[in-house]
Each structure stands twice: as structure tokens, then as C-alpha cells.
Structure 1
Amino acid sequence: MLFSFDIYHKIELSCDFLDTNDALLDTNMARKTVLPKVFIVLSFMLGITCAGSCVMMGTNNHKSHPLHDRFSRLQHDLPPLDFTQPPLITPAMQSYHAFYHLDFPEVEHRWGSFQSGEYTLAAHIFTPQEPKGTVFLLHGYLDHTGILYRVIQNCLKQQFVVAIYDLPGHGLSSGERADISDFSAYVSVFHDFLGLCRPHVPTPYHVLSHSTGSAIVFEYLAATPEPFFDKIIFLAPLVHHVHWRTSKIAFTLCKLVQIDALPRRYSQKDLDPALIDFIKTDPLQTDRVPMTWVEALYKWNKKIQKTEEMTLSALIIQGKEDDVVDWEYNMPFLQKKFPQASIKVIDEAGHYLINESSEIQAEIFQTVNAYLKDRSQEEFP
């Protein structure tokens, strides 16, 4: 396809969601600097291997997995989440438990669905013996409850109830796969889930979130005059993703040529290879990133720039080798919004943190567990 300079004028006119500093200045600048970046980043977003990037396109077989049909039926057959009746266990649920390592011994696993707006969400409540509080857990984009079994297990070992649900369009929840038109829909679901659970789970309440889950918690906290969380933990929080400015130009170009979704890319740099293989065959995964989700992210980001400072303490854990979020932008931004937050940067860690090497997992869980035990913030530089 040939691209005339008229396209650059169209990009300039259509980039109304860009910050002033991101706008294209003139045709010569576009010809000299933007064209190469557009194609490099567009290739990166499309999952094509580029110099200096460690990405790959997998041959994924989610729908051909023998459990795909069973889990699809389970999505539609989940009963409403009921705190008054004994947990219901069906053969399909047992298969789900076993496949995602969620069959924890001596733990009550209550799960079902709840309604929030147009969505039917799959929710799980894990209750250990003699619980001493509740951790509300939010997963990241393209993940679901089953991928977070390690952090669920860690919280249960610390005697916390774990309350978690699959985001709209993820896992066993309804909605267009991996899509959302506005991040406020994510926040509304979180608000409804909290209202459903709070009468039935023990205090104190804590929240632990990863990546996009942290974006949801951020907006919820900003919009809630008196949030009731005792401890707030962000893991690799999303504010900007990598290649932020140039990718917004690439996004506009995708819209101009009517690309409505991008293939998912898998990083081999930080994830355990066995977990990559598992994710690529996981029947609840998706292989595409809708452009409407990307646009919703840009709109959300523009919105939160106006967020006022929050007088809340929080723990932020970030990997220095993260190739998904732009942590060098995100950390100063979050420090400004949460001046009382403690930030821990782990040199060898990437984006996925709790699903990386056993050494990184141990360091993260040690830090999280100490923070949840009411120790002084000074212990978390």
C-alpha cells in the first residue's frame, strides 16, 4: 500500500486524543521521523519480530483444546454467586479447578456469577480456615482468575480470604473478548463486586492489582471520597505502555486503514517458558487486541491526568525489565498522585512479576506479605 503525504495531514487532524507535544508538526517532520517509527511500532504491535524486540507470534490452539467446549458451557451455566448456600461443585467446575490449580486443600471455594450493567461476571471467593481479612484481587489485561493461582495461594497461606472475578470480556465473564468501550465500565463492575462481597467477607479489606487491574483501582480510588481499603498494592501498574507516543500515531494509522484488531504478542523475556506454552493453549485466552480497547485506554489516560493527589498509602512493585508498561514514566506519575506510596523496583523482574522465576516470586511475596502485616512503610524503600 502506498502512503501519500495526505495521510499525514489526516493523522494530524484525527489525533484529537493526542497530547499537544504528540501532534505532528509538519509534513517534512512526518516524512523524516514519523514514517519509520510508524512502521516499526506498527510491526511491534502486530507481533512481527523487529530488531531489538523480543516478541513472537504463537500458533495458538485455544478453541481446539479438549476443555474449550466444557468451559464455554460453564460460562453460561454458572449459578448466581450465593453466600448463603453450600458451594456447588459440578464435574465442569472440578475440571476448571484442576486445570488452573485452584483446588487448594482446606479452602472453601465459593464461586458463581453476578450482574453488573450489561455484563455477567464470573466470581470466586476463596476462604481459608480462620481468616484474618480479605484481599480483593484484580487481574491484568488478557488474563483471568486461573492465571493468578500463585498469588491466590500466597494470600490464602497468609490466612486472607481472596475475592476475585474475571474482568468483562475475560475468562468466564461475558462481553466481547478482551474489549471495552470505556474504562469506566471496568470501574463500575469493581464497585458492584465490592458491594456484593463486603457484607460476607471479613475485615480489614485490602486490594492487590496487576497492570490493567491497577488502572481500574486507580480510577476507583480517585472517584471514591473515603475508600475503605486498609492496604493498596499495585503490581506493574498500567499508566503508559511502552512506545506510548509513537504507538498513538500507529493507532491512528490503523484506524485510517480500517484495522479493527491486532494479533496478540507474547514476550519471551520474562515469563517462564512453560507458562508461555500454557497460556498459548489456555482455552480461556484470546489472540487479538481490539482497537476499541486501545482507544479506551488512551481516553482513560487523558482523563486521569487531571486526577488530584490522593492522601492514601500504597505499595507499588515494579520490574526494571518490564517491556509492557513504561515504568520510567509511570513511577513518577504515581508518586505524584500517591505521595505517601512506597515503591519497590526489582532489577531482574519483567511485567508479569508473580508468574516469573521462583526467586522473583519469592521476593515479591515476601514484600507483599510484610506490607500486609502492618509493618512500617519504611521497610519498603
Structure 2
Amino acid sequence: MPQPFQAERLRSSLRPLAATTNLSAEGLAYQRYYGLDLPGQPQVRSRLGRFSSSGVELVSQLWLPPEPQGTLILLHGYYDHMGLYRHVIDWALGLNLAVLAFDLPGHGLSAGPRASIDDFAAYQQALQDLFAEAASLDLPQPWHLCGQSTGGGILLDFLLNGEPRPEPGAIVLLAPLVRPRAWGLSKLSYHLLSPFKSAIPRRFSANSTDPAFLDFLQHHDPLQPRTLPTAWVGAMARWIPRIERAQCSPLQPLVVQGEDDMTVDWRYNLAVLEQKFDQPNILRIPGARHHLANEHEDIRRRYFAFLSEHLR
């Protein structure tokens, strides 16, 4: 499958979202490639722009239904990017919500060392800068928050350790990261390897029951990183105790977790969430794996119904 866009060239051609009107030909090609043009929703307008966070140029994207009744702010997972979240975007638009998303530093169309970060605090700064983008666009309240995996971990950090302003609407956590599966072994490997290697080859896992998605991810997605930087693992190792030590919150997030998730330590993670929040509303799905945003249609239909009931 030919690549119809070049990430750096596309990013450099972008302006701030507030100043953006029509997408360029390359921007349109990018959206078509990932299905973000949403051909089933012709009334939806979209924008593609960029903003700066800690000196790094990040790419953001907005989808606007004709009369939105709120906004969903969407954070993707590690190795991911906005292009993989069309199912979540389509669902939110069906609830008449505007959708604002961005590629994390080092991911997708955004600049920065690929899939790496020196400190998870950079993710918090990027989130605050995204809130500033939402405010500059005067996006309708309430602002619901949704994060998959590492995106969910970023939201946890914001809710437990930050200054949750603006006050969030619903909080949706899809297979949120607190710590990954087999964390003890991974941490040992990091301490052994980090003095000698800056990165190790990435292993693609069967993190969804949708074989077409798995094939696309490994063979047809030009924005997929191919290494695991040890700096990112070190940053995560310093971040996990920060979440574990955080004070409790009266918020009640909506949590969706697959019981066949082999990426995060989901039993431990759910226990942490039940301790930190006031009766989080948890949906456990037997047979579902980690990448819930791209799980099989039957699984997506089940958890979207659960989320829709609470957001309405």
C-alpha cells in the first residue's frame, strides 16, 4: 500500500487549528489513508493543525458536528497516533460531541524522538497545551476526557496529581496504564540494558482480536515506531510510583478493561483505580485484548453502549 503523505512535510505545512480552514491535498490524503475523513458523516467538518509544547511541534486534529453539545478530548496509547482512533471518533460524533485529539510527542505526525520521552511530565505539559487549544477554539462544554492505555495513564496523572482545570465531564479510561504486564522482569531488563543500548527492536503483539487491524499495524502503517527506546522505559519506571503514591480522588471514571489483555497488568491496575477513585464504574470484557479502540466490532459495540449510557 503506497504512502500518500510524508509526516514531516505535512507537519511543517500546518498552521494552528484556530487559523486553519481547508485541509491541504496532503492533509486530505492522510485523512483518507486512515479513514479519518469519515465518509459516513459528510456533515462533519474537520481541521488539522499544529501547536508547540515545550519547544516540540505537535499535530492536533478537530472534528466538528453541526451543533455539538460537548467535546471529547482524546489521548492515544504508546506507539499509537490519531489515525488509529476512527472508531472512537465516529462513536463520539454520533453522540453529537466535537472531538479534539493530538499525536503525543514522538508519535504519529508530531515531532520529537520516536516513541521516546525523558520524563512523563512532558505528557502533562502537552495535555495542558491541548486544553489551551480547546479554549482558543471555544469548544463546547462539558469537556469529556478519553484515554487508551498510556493515554489513560496520562489522564490518571492529570486527575490524581494535577490541577484538574477545566473540571472534566465524563472520564473514559480504556485499558489504562498503571504498570505493564510482567513489570518486574521488564524493570530488571531495563536496568541491565540501558547502560549499553538506547533502544531495542519492537515486538508486535496480538493486542486485538481483529486480524485486519493487526496486519495493518505491522505491515501498512507508516507511522508505527519500530524500536522501544530505553529512555521511555526509564521515564515510565519513575512515573509508576508517582501514581501509586497519589492522593485519592472523589471522581468516578468509566473504565473498560479486556480480560485477555496481555499488555498491561490489568488486575493490579484495576485494584489501584478502585483504591484511588470513588467507586469507578468498571466494565470488564471477557475475550477482549488490549487495543480496545481497535477491537473486534462486537466488543466495540458492547463497550460503546456502556459508555453512551453514561455520557447521555
Q: Aligned residues, how many?
A: 306
For residues 212-291 of structure 1, what are the structure 2 equivalents within 5 Å? 212-222=150-160, 223-224=162-163, 227-256=166-195, 258-268=196-206, 270-280=208-218, 281-291=220-230
For residues 1-381 of structure 1, what are the structure 2 equivalents within 5 Å? 66-67=2-3, 70-82=6-18, 85=19, 87-104=21-38, 105-199=42-136, 200-222=138-160, 223-224=162-163, 227-256=166-195, 258-268=196-206, 270-280=208-218, 281-373=220-312
Distance in 1 separating the partners of 2:16 and 2:111? 14
TM-score (norm 1): 0.78
Distance in 2 separating the partners of 1:107 and 1:227? 25
- RMSD between aligned residues: 1.5
Distance 1:344 1:284, change over 3 A: same
Distance in 1 separating the partners of 2:68 and 2:166? 22
The 8 Å contact of residues 68 and 283 in structure 1, kept in 2 or not, is answered as: no
Distance 1:69 1:149, change over 3 A: closer
Q: Structure 1: any 5+ residue segments left out of the alignment?
A: 1-64, 374-381
The 8 Å contact of residues 221 and 227 in structure 1, kept in 2 or not, is answered as: no
The 8 Å contact of residues 208 and 291 in structure 2, kept in 1 or not, is answered as: yes
The 8 Å contact of residues 141 and 211 in structure 1, kept in 2 or not, is answered as: yes
Q: Structure 2: any 5+ residue segments left out of the alignment?
A: none
In the other structure, the counterpart of 1:22 is: none
The 8 Å contact of residues 44 and 63 in structure 2, kept in 1 or not, is answered as: yes
In the other structure, the counterpart of 1:44 is: none
Q: How big is the shift at 1:269?
A: 5.7
Describe the SS at the equivalent of 1:228: coil
Distance in 1 separating the partners of 2:302 and 2:131? 29
Distance 1:128 1:284, change over 3 A: same
Q: How big is the shift at 1:180?
A: 0.3
Distance in 1 separating the partners of 2:111 and 2:21? 22
Between the aligned residues of both structures, percent identity stands at 38
**Letter of the structure 2 residue corresponding to residue 131 of structure 1:** P
Distance in 2 separating the partners of 1:225 and 1:197? 15
Deviation readout 1:108-129 (Å, 9 max, x if unpaired): 1012001111211100110012
Distance in 2 separating the partners of 1:68 and 1:109? 19
Larger radius of gyration: 1
